[in-house]
Amino acid sequence: MNGYRHLKRGLPVLLLVTTPCLAELNLVEENLSAPNRDTLAENLIVEHMDPIEIDPSLSLSQLVEITLEKYPDRLIAEALALEASALTERSDSWVAGSTALALNYSDDRLADNLGSREAAAQVEITTWDWGQRDAGQAVAERAGVSAQKQSAAVKLEVTRLIRDALWNMEIANIGLQQAQNALSIAEQLMKKVERRVELGDLPRADMLLAKGEYLQNRALVTQAEAEVMHSRKAYASLTTLSRLPGNYREKQSDLTSVTSNHPMLEAISAIIDRKQAEIQWTKTTDPINQPKLSVGARSQRDGRSGQDLESVGVGMVMLFGGDAYNAPEIARVNLDLNNAKAQREHLYRQLEKNLHEAEHALEVTRAELAIANELKQIAETHLKMSEISFSAGEINQLDLLKIQARSLDAIRNAKLQEVKLQRNIAFYNQAVGIQP
């Protein structure tokens, strides 16, 4: 009879409490199972909204290309391409420098005035030194390759920023969902305690505790909303878009090591190749003078005899003994070369470290996901058992709401670990240099 009496008294409250609990759990699981859904509540505590829309037609690779078109570092890549074009134009030229025309005329009108005059014209051509043009063509070719590799490196960096921004938004959304769920439970508890205080079943102190819990959770929702908005603004600032891809999950790459064709390594290796070519260019180029070929004609008239003399001349300026003057410039370029080699070694070590950390993060997340899924199943089973206990009067309403909160937290944590796994797969692909 006692059990029946407890059950009879508990049924009205059970209908008020457990039905919203089950509905709440189903809603949370439904929301968390849609990773690309905008789950932001319609009624914000702080009226600040950075809208983000889902665009099913937008792919992750398209998003990278759109972002790259407006990314500031593209200007550097464009300048490198223009430099390579200018170097190619220089190396394709038939002459090594500018061509000069010299004109001279003199007579004796202001002196003896015997009719003497002299007129001369000379063309001076800057010629290529031995092996200089081939060295210039090598510099131009490697500069072009370097410009392309630098563009690929910039694209990979843009991809990293996009991956980070997308998954930061998704994690922030899950955090907001959890905060909203906790606030909903706290609000239910506060209303029920308030009702029982009015009926005289509970003291007013319980009402103050329930309201304090509600306000604390409301503050957490406010912070979670801010995190969501910050992550959205970071994404919009990076991509200049307010649209998200419909699906941005990635398949883990089969690569297990940092290879030589990693875009970052290729970029620094291309710089090294260019520096090596510049050393040869510097060795064959005088920083002050260049070999010159001059062709000229002269016309003279002797004022005494009246005879005209016409002549044509060819001249050549040859350089030698300039090694001591070129040595500092060669040393400077060699220093740049060795700096680039050192940077490549540092970069390779950093890339290996990043890959190791990405591999470890995946292993840890997979283990945490397995544990989180087990905890989720346990929490759901515990909640069902608690509902039966509550209906039998074995636990009170407050205990049931706490169990519901733990169940919601377990569901959220399982989904969070799933999202972290997908994020870490994207970060692994980033570490091995794979584009989406």
Residue 190 pLDDT greater than 70, yes or no: yes
More confident residue, 5 or 428: 428
pLDDT given for residue 370 in this prediction: 95
34 pLDDT band, cuts 50/70/90, is very low
pLDDT band at 303 (very low <50, low <70, confident <90, very high): low
For the stretch 362-383, pLDDT in tens is 999 999 999 999 999 998 888 8
Q: What is the pLDDT of residue 312?
A: 87
Structure token digits, residue 182: 């906790």
Mean per-residue pLDDT, 248-255: 94
Strand partners, 326: none
Structure tokens given for 148: 């392309």
Which strands, in side-by-side order, build the sheet including 117-126? 100-107, 117-126, 292-301, 308-317
Are the C-beta atoms of residues 216 and 196 closer than 8 Å to each other?
no
Distance CA 146, CA 91 (A): 17
Under DSSP, the state recorded for 252 is P
Q: Mean pLDDT for the chain?
A: 84
SS3 content of the chain, % helix, strand, coil (to 5): 65, 10, 25
For 99-118, what is the mean pLDDT?
81
The pLDDT score that the predictor gives to residue 3 is 38
Which 3 state secondary structure label does DSSP give 57? coil
Highest averaged pLDDT of the listed ranges 33-47, 190-204, 264-278, 397-411:
264-278
How confident is the model at residue 40, as a pLDDT? 57
The string of pLDDT tens digits covering residues 75-95 is: 998 999 999 999 999 888 888
pLDDT band at 32 (very low <50, low <70, confident <90, very high): very low
Check residues 274 and 391 and name the one with the higher pLDDT: 274
For the whole model, what pTM was predicted? 0.81
Of 141, 105, 397, 393, nearest in space to 281 by CA: 141
Evaluate whether 129 touches 96 at the Cβ level (below 8 Å): yes
Tell me, what amino acid is at 365?
T
Residue 180: exposed, middle, or buried by beta-carbon count in 10 A (0-12, 13-18, 19+)? buried
The residues, ordered by sequence, that sit 6+ positions from 75 with a Cβ below 8 Å of its Cβ are: none
User: What's the confidence (pLDDT) of residue 365?
Assistant: 95
Mean pLDDT for the stretch of residues 215-236: 93
125 in helix, strand or coil?
strand
CA distance 233 to 190: 34
The predicted model gives 230-250 an average pLDDT of 93
Predicted confidence band at 197 (pLDDT cuts at 50, 70, 90)? confident
Burial 295-309 (b: 16+ CB within 10 A, else e): ebeeeebeeeeeeee
**What pLDDT, on a 0 to 100 scale, did the predictor assign at position 12?**
36
Q: Which residues pair with 243 in a beta bridge?
A: 53
Q: What is the pLDDT of residues 135-157, one digit of tens each?
A: 999 999 999 999 999 999 999 99
Q: Which residue reads 């910050």 in tokens?
A: 230
Take residue 91 and report the two structure tokens written for it: 């190396």
pLDDT of residue 64 exceeding 60, the answer is: yes
Give the separation between CA 147 and CA 81, rounded to whole angstroms. Answer: 5
More confidently predicted of 398 and 263 = 263
Lowest mean pLDDT among 16-25, 246-255, 356-365: 16-25
